[in-house]
Structure 1
Amino acid sequence: MTSVISPSVPEPRLLSRQVLAWGLWDWGSAAFNAVVTTFVFTAYLTGNPAFGGEAFVSAQLSWWIAGAGVVIALLAPITGQRADRSGHRKLWLGVNTYLVVAITAGLAVVAPKPDLLWVGLFLLAAGNVFFEFASVNYNAMLGQISTPSTIGKISGFGWGLGYVAGIVLLLFLYVTLIGPDVGMFGITSADGWDVRVSMLIAAAWLGLFAIPVLRVVPETPGTAAPGAKIGFFASYRKLGRDLVALWRNDRTTAKFLIASAIFRDGLAGVFTFAGVLAIGTFGFSGGDVLIFGVAANIVAGVVTIASGRLDDRFGARTVILASLIGLVTFGIILFFLHDAGTTLFWIFGLGLAAFVGPAQSASRSFLARIIPEGKEGEMFGLYATTGRAVSFIAPAAFGLFISVGGAQYFGILGLVLVLALGLALMIPVRTPAAKA
């Protein structure tokens, strides 16, 4: 896969019809990222005693998410490859997106009863799998709608829409359903209806904003020769050959892909378990978590945009290392001061949010600087693949440390360990002099 524009696609502008349609999928995805997996549904499971003790539910949640990560690791590396070869990238984006929509709506059946905990965990894990499969094809579209001179702006535009949408949707749900004693249509928290109806709204949000990209951005022709097919297991053999060739011919890029896969999983873990920790360890209510989520998205968005200047001046590697050091330091402080209450989490939790965005953004720009000319699409595809291949590590570490320590706050150490490992692997990675 190469980062080129189809001859039928005109030179893109930042707010062209295709770019806006593509970015609206990111806007819609906030329904799953912010509402389902971070600040509302997962917090509902771990914070409601009807489902079981917080440590027990938190550990089960982490293991189910880790299991989903294993499925993603086994299947995601070849989904984008096969979609590119067949020319069905947009088709599979639509199929997987609307499976996520159906699963999100299905979460509305999870009433606060012990026997329904497993239903909620299964649907949450399945949603993670199909969301990642959708993201493979969505991210692959970036090369269709951008050029080397606009890819950073357009990618950042989509990323920014996701942050903003998270704020808008969380505020809407808090004001209309979760915050008031009696929400719209007379809905209350009795039997978990405020959260359960929120899942229906989240499903509708994602389903609605996924429509433009499926209607506006054209399907791409397949890369395989007519009649040439590659079997399921042959796809893995091809992937293996590509990885071996990369390690032999471009060791710096290979090392960066490994390091970034680890620390990006740690970054994802910070957002995945932030709401869970806020309620279970630091004494937040469900409404407090929503307000914190809004503040975290604002901080992450603003600091990420501002960090671009530092990236250009001091280099992406410097921004990545500084961000990871900050994340590890703040995580250790939160662990040792876990009984200090909500104020501490407001300070250092928002500090974590401030470091996550710059690390994500600088990681992408670092790779953009070292990619050999003509290999942009292939390398960004591998960048996405390696991240998904290890997406079970942070949830597994979170759950393992809770199981060993016997309390939820021990999960913080699991996330810190993953981030520290990514930091250690990133330190020896240097930007080639010719690309600096």
Structure 2
Amino acid sequence: MQVQQDGGAAAPGEATPGPAESSPARGAKAGGRLANRRAIIAWCFYDWANSAFPTVIVTFVFAAYYTQVLAPDPETGTGQWGLAMSLSGIAIAILAPILGAVADQGGRRKPWIAVFSLLCIASGAGLWFAEPDPSWALFALVLAALANLAFEIGTVFYNAMLPEVAPARLWGRVSGWAWSLGYAGGLACLVLTLVLFVQPAEPLLGLDKANSEHVRIAGPFVALWFLAFALPMFLFTPDRTGSGMPVGRAIVQGLSALRHSLAKLPKQGVVLRYLIARMFYTDGLNTLFAFGGIYAAGSFGMDFTEILVFGILLNVTSGLGAFAFAWVDDWIGPKRTILIAVGALTLLGGAILLIETKLWFYILGSAIGIFIGPAQSASRTLMARLAPAKVRTEMFGLYALSGKVTAFMGPAAVGGITVLTGSQRWGMTAILVLFVVGFVLLLPLKEPPPDPDGAPPLV
């Protein structure tokens, strides 16, 4: 007997649909699941696409090229590169909430992602023209800072898509899978850049090493990588329906909504507490990334090759951690996942300040990587749960702000303590303090249920 959707049996005398008749409905349902799965995979691969930029350009290849070739000396170059990224970070902190609020009025997010992705791609590709001459230094800094700005702003709109890409019960897994793909994509692009261009005596395409073409090619190569692997998200991941609001009105309405949200934020204890807690532990993570290589070189005498190997190893374990903890996120919730990760980072970070050998540095450093990924991916999930649906992009703009507004604090503390004590180990304890403060602030936070429209309103 065929059961209808309302639970009643087919009426007497009515033909009961057979397998052939019911298969289109089942086929449509299966097709819907397939389309949804394709949309999720395509969304995740945007992380694979754009992570090549911070890994290859900001952290390893082009940053080293600037400090060692374009700058007057490595110390001056490090300072100039750091200043350019800091100014970029300030611009991100200002623009992210504003543009997020405007986007919420317009409805759609993919056009914003497209604009800032293309800006990052074009700016990154332009780094090819930064020839090994100090006269190109300012050009390189401006393009790198502009590309970094575009990368971060684009990520705001991308993150805000998570609650609509996947059902709420899968937010943790999808966020974790995407984050792990990001680590894998950045690492894959870095390895290919080194193997195909930087390392060989005869680089691919006959590039002229005397003119640093084998290093400068990193910009166009990352740009092509970003463009190619970002396309599936634009083709297969659906976007919200546009509101049809004119651009001028969307800007006015967005700014008004942002002012309203900021005015009400002090009363929204849960969201405010989370943003402040994230501000501290994210500053700890960013400072760890910034000073990890410096600490390895200064305290353990590791050379550039050893630091590069360690960086690759750290990316591998961070990606594996984000992937493995994706299920934990959905099982126990993102808040508890973050607490586990930050707690483990504090304990392992303390241990790494006590050991003396390179072997233990590699072991404990790899273990730290396992918890870096979950701390980042679960943070995105928790913001998705806390953000009211109507202002979700705006909230992710504030989320970006919380990751940038105190970016100076950790590096300043590490540098200051190191100078005062004459010890890198004592200086690095500042990172542990940031982790502890973030942990304590996050601990009493009440996490809402994983309902896509159940986040508390900003009232």
What's the TM-score, normalizing by structure 1? 0.80
Matched, 1:295 2:293: no
Matched, 1:387 2:425: no
Gaps of 5+ in 1: 1-9
- Per the TM alignment, residue 90 of structure 1 is displaced from its structure 2 partner at its CA by 1.9
SS in 2 for 1:221: coil
1:254-304 deviations in Å (ceiling 9; x for gaps): 312221233234324434554566568765555544433332222112223
Q: Quick one: which of 34, 45, 49 aligns to 2:55?
A: 34
In structure 2, the residue matched to 1:5 is none
Mapped to 2, the partners of 1:416 and 1:115 lie a distance apart of 41
CA RMSD of aligned residues (A): 3.8
Mapped to 2, the partners of 1:344 and 1:41 lie a distance apart of 30
One-letter amino acid of the counterpart of residue 115, structure 2: V
1:333-360 deviations in Å (ceiling 9; x for gaps): 66677xx686565334323322211212
SS in 1 for 2:59: helix
Matched, 1:68 2:94: no
In structure 2, the residue matched to 1:183 is 203
Q: Quick one: which of 143, 156, 173 aligns to 1:123?
A: 143
Mapped to 2, the partners of 1:13 and 1:409 lie a distance apart of 53
- Per the TM alignment, residue 396 of structure 1 is displaced from its structure 2 partner at its CA by 5.6
Mapped to 2, the partners of 1:29 and 1:78 lie a distance apart of 22
CA 199–301 in structure 1, closer or farther in 2 if over 3 Å, else same: same
Given that residues 80 and 140 in structure 1 are in contact (C-alpha distance below 8 angstroms), is that contact kept between their aligned partners in structure 2? no
Given that residues 327 and 352 in structure 1 are in contact (C-alpha distance below 8 angstroms), is that contact kept between their aligned partners in structure 2? yes
Q: Quick one: which of 183, 208, 214 aligns to 1:194?
A: 214
CA 110–75 in structure 1, closer or farther in 2 if over 3 Å, else same: same
Matched, 1:133 2:146: no
Comparing 217-226 and 152-161, the one that deviates more: 217-226
Mapped to 2, the partners of 1:190 and 1:288 lie a distance apart of 25
Matched, 1:425 2:445: no
CA 353–377 in structure 1, closer or farther in 2 if over 3 Å, else same: farther
Matched, 1:96 2:109: no
CA 106–341 in structure 1, closer or farther in 2 if over 3 Å, else same: farther
Mapped to 1, the partners of 2:330 and 2:235 lie a distance apart of 36
CA 329–125 in structure 1, closer or farther in 2 if over 3 Å, else same: farther
1:87-145 deviations in Å (ceiling 9; x for gaps): 45222211110110111112223344444333333222211111122112222333333
One-letter amino acid of the counterpart of residue 142, structure 1: L
Gaps of 5+ in 2: 1-30, 452-459
One-letter amino acid of the counterpart of residue 32, structure 1: F
Count how many residue pairs are aligned between Structure 1 and Structure 2: 418
CA 402–112 in structure 1, closer or farther in 2 if over 3 Å, else same: farther
In structure 2, the residue matched to 1:238 is 257
Mapped to 1, the partners of 2:33 and 2:434 lie a distance apart of 38
Comparing 85-94 and 109-118, the one that deviates more: 109-118
Given that residues 304 and 361 in structure 1 are in contact (C-alpha distance below 8 angstroms), is that contact kept between their aligned partners in structure 2? yes
CA 434–139 in structure 1, closer or farther in 2 if over 3 Å, else same: closer
Given that residues 177 and 322 in structure 2 are in contact (C-alpha distance below 8 angstroms), is that contact kept between their aligned partners in structure 1? no
Comparing 69-78 and 52-61, the one that deviates more: 52-61
Mapped to 1, the partners of 2:196 and 2:83 lie a distance apart of 32
In structure 1, the residue matched to 2:280 is 262
SS in 2 for 1:180: coil
In structure 2, the residue matched to 1:170 is 190
CA 405–31 in structure 1, closer or farther in 2 if over 3 Å, else same: same
In structure 2, the residue matched to 1:51 is 71
1:213-263 deviations in Å (ceiling 9; x for gaps): 22333453334767981445x644422322443442x42233122212332
Matched, 1:161 2:181: yes
User: Percent same amino acid at aligned positions?
Assistant: 29
- Per the TM alignment, residue 75 of structure 1 is displaced from its structure 2 partner at its CA by 1.0
Given that residues 40 and 286 in structure 1 are in contact (C-alpha distance below 8 angstroms), is that contact kept between their aligned partners in structure 2? no
Given that residues 106 and 123 in structure 1 are in contact (C-alpha distance below 8 angstroms), is that contact kept between their aligned partners in structure 2? yes
SS in 2 for 1:181: coil
- Per the TM alignment, residue 208 of structure 1 is displaced from its structure 2 partner at its CA by 1.5
5 Å-filtered alignment, 1:73-88, equals 73-88=93-108
Given that residues 143 and 377 in structure 1 are in contact (C-alpha distance below 8 angstroms), is that contact kept between their aligned partners in structure 2? no
In structure 2, the residue matched to 1:213 is 233
CA 399–227 in structure 1, closer or farther in 2 if over 3 Å, else same: closer
CA 16–424 in structure 1, closer or farther in 2 if over 3 Å, else same: closer
CA 392–115 in structure 1, closer or farther in 2 if over 3 Å, else same: farther
In structure 1, the residue matched to 2:21 is none
Comparing 61-70 and 181-190, the one that deviates more: 181-190
What's the TM-score, normalizing by structure 2? 0.76
In structure 2, the residue matched to 1:320 is 338
Mapped to 2, the partners of 1:223 and 1:263 lie a distance apart of 37
Q: Quick one: which of 359, 363, 371 aligns to 2:375?
A: 359
In structure 2, the residue matched to 1:20 is 41
One-letter amino acid of the counterpart of residue 241, structure 1: H
Given that residues 66 and 392 in structure 1 are in contact (C-alpha distance below 8 angstroms), is that contact kept between their aligned partners in structure 2? no
